[in-house]
């Protein structure tokens, strides 16, 4: 989404924006968007270009972006890579 690279699902992470709740990582209900799992630059590009908001068809608040960033890339040091 951010870098527009085509990759196998094992190298991507799904972000969903179910109606009435915050952003969720992983499988589940709602529209989803795929980001590179180990590339914070991909995430930042998706936010900067508003591609994530367009894909999810909803506005994304700054606090949601911060929580999502921590979930996706804060976990990397503890677990090896986000899931």
pLDDT recorded at residue 29? 84
pLDDT recorded at residue 77? 43
Domains of the chain by residue range: 9-76
pTM listed for this prediction: 0.78
pLDDT recorded at residue 63? 93
Nearest residue to 5 via CA among 34, 48, 40, 47: 34
Q: Let me know the angle formed at the C-alpha of 2 by 47 and 23, rounded to the nearest 5 degrees.
A: 50
Cβ neighbours of 50 (radius 10 Å): 11
| pLDDT tens-digit profile, the chain (83 residues) | 888 889 998 999 999 987 777 889 998 888 899 999 989 999 999 999 999 999 999 999 999 999 999 999 885 444 444 44
């Amino acid at each position: 989404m951010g870098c527009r690279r085509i990759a196998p699902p094992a190298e991507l992470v799904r972000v969903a924006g179910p109606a009435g709740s915050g952003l969720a990582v992983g499988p589940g209900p709602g529209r989803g968007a795929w980001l590179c799992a180990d590339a914070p630059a991909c995430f930042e590009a998706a936010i900067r270009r508003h591609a994530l908001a367009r894909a999810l068809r909803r506005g994304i608040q700054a606090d949601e972006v911060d929580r999502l960033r921590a979930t996706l890339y804060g976990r990397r040091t503890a677990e090896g890579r986000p899931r």
